[in-house]
Amino acid sequence: MAVFRRKKFHVKHSDGSVDEGITSAISPPPLPDEKAPSAVPAVDRNSGSMTTEASGADAPAKPMRNTPPYQDAPLAQEIADLSRRRRMLAADDLPRPESTRVITVANQKGGVGKTTSTVNLAAALARTGARVIVIDLDPQGNASTALGVEHRADTLSVYDVIINDVPIEEVIQKSPEFSALFCIPATIHLAGAEIELVSRVAREQRLRRALDLFLEAAEPRFDYVFIDCPPSLGLLTINAFVAAREVLIPIQCEYYALEGLSQLLKNIELIEKHLNPSLGVSTILLTMYDVRTNLANQVVQDVRDHFPKEVLQTLIPRSVRISEAPSYGQTVVSYDPNSPGSLSYREAAAEIARRGAPF
């Protein structure tokens, strides 16, 4: 605080005389004592009134703000989880089946991830060294596109196998994805195969006969055959069911997911009864899972309640990378192998391999 002071002064002149007087001044405030506390205004959070707090060396230290450590941040936890999953997959030595497993991927409802699941599960298994074939039985030919194989109109395809009795060894192509991954492509001609099959002898058995002949002669043997079906129950899908031993059903984690599932199961039972006694539903894969919605979690719980043995523990998330990959002629397993979508399909493939053939 500044202080007003009065002070006498003396002036001595050259002739020896002296003048006296009084001056006034405002002295500056004293320097603060570093050890002395000073009052600092503060606001009481409860009452809103001004208070004073001691500050300085003698004032109590204020507690540090409670900032969570870096490793507890959501992004850090996600990165750590992805790293853990990659390490587990790298260390996982998957068993190979004793005989070739033929799996039809089917669902009469479209847009549930049939083709996407077919090619990515096949690629994930081929990545581990298993020898895998994908049979593209959908006239759209999306599986052929995703695996990067030729499927123009003049290309030998599964149509020629079913309609013209061309041996599979003349049709099968190696996918550029992995050295152990092969594809029997579909072309536009397959769209008319349903009508042409109507008049054929043993029309439901044609794919199975061709596939059995090929697998018996194949050296080294193949471990898995995945058949991608169209979203309908026509003669092409029936051929796929008759050729297979297992059915894998992808189910989207959304409201209409279970629509048509009961009818699909009834059709599988009819085919098992009349055409293929060894057929059965071995696997249900939940796709397009969105962890942010309660609806997705409810669908997961409902499906697991109804099919506790068949449903895989792995959930396939919604992923931009999964959607992008086919436009580059790739599966997500090769397009972005460390993405969450790729890791999920690799984990699902590992589950299928460890379970083994159930029938």
| pLDDT confidence of residue 246 | 98
Domain ranges within the chain, ordered by starting residue: 98-355
Question: Is 27's pLDDT higher than 70?
Answer: no
Q: How does DSSP assign 294-332, residue by residue? A: HHHHHHHHHHHHH-TTTEEEEEEEP-HHHHHGGGGT--H
| pLDDT confidence of residue 28 | 56
- pLDDT higher at 90 or 126: 126
DSSP β-ladder status, 38-43 and 18-27: unpaired
Question: Is 166's pLDDT higher than 70?
Answer: yes
Tally the C-alpha atoms within 13 A of residue 203's C-alpha that lie toward its C-beta.
13
Place of tokens 């195969």: 193
> Which CATH number applies to 98-355: 3.30.56.10, 3.40.50.300, 3.30.70.330, 3.90.1010.10?
3.40.50.300
Question: Which residues, 6+ apart, have CB-to-CB distance to 181 below 8 Å?
Answer: 122, 123, 126, 132, 134, 147, 174, 175
Residue 176: name the closest of 329, 325, 326 by CA. 329
Question: What residue type is assigned to position 81 of the chain?
Answer: D
Cβ–Cβ < 8 Å for 283, 251: no
Could you report the per-residue pLDDT of 334-345, keeping only the tens digit for each?
999 999 999 999
Give SS3 for 343: helix
- pLDDT higher at 291 or 225: 225
Which band of pLDDT confidence, cut at 50, 70 and 90, is reported for residue 6? low
Average pLDDT over residues 208-224: 97
Over the chain, what is the mean pLDDT?
85
| pLDDT confidence of residue 1 | 54
C-alpha to C-alpha distance for 238 and 290, rounded to whole angstroms: 32
| pLDDT confidence of residue 335 | 96
- DSSP3 helix / strand / coil % (the chain, rounded to 5): 40, 20, 40
Report the chain's terminal Cα–Cα distance, integer Å. 95
Question: Is 255's pLDDT higher than 90?
Answer: no
Question: Is 253's pLDDT higher than 80?
Answer: yes
DSSP state of 177: S
For residue 258, how many other CB atoms are within 10 A of its CB? 15
Could you give the percent of the chain with pLDDT greater than 90? Answer: 65
Long-range contacts of 61-70 (CB under 8 A, 24+ apart): none
Which band of pLDDT confidence, cut at 50, 70 and 90, is reported for residue 122? very high
C-alpha to C-alpha distance for 15 and 321, rounded to whole angstroms: 103
Return the bridge partners of 50, or none. Answer: 43
Question: Is 21's pLDDT higher than 80?
Answer: no
Average pLDDT over residues 46-54: 50
Question: Is 201's pLDDT higher than 90?
Answer: no
| pLDDT confidence of residue 184 | 98
Place of tokens 């989880």: 81
| pLDDT confidence of residue 76 | 78
Please, what is the angle between helix 235-243 and helix 206-217, to 10°?
40
Question: Is 44's pLDDT higher than 60?
Answer: no
Least confidently predicted of 88-102, 157-171, 176-190: 88-102
* Per-residue burial over 116-145, b = 16 or more CB atoms within 10 Å of its CB, e = otherwise: bbbbbbbbbbbbbebbbbbbbbbbbbbbbb
> For 344, phi and psi rounded to 5 degrees?
-65, -45
| pLDDT confidence of residue 22 | 52
pTM for the predicted model, two decimal places: 0.79
Could you report the per-residue pLDDT of 265-295, keeping only the tens digit for each?
999 999 999 999 999 999 999 999 998 889 9
| pLDDT confidence of residue 17 | 57
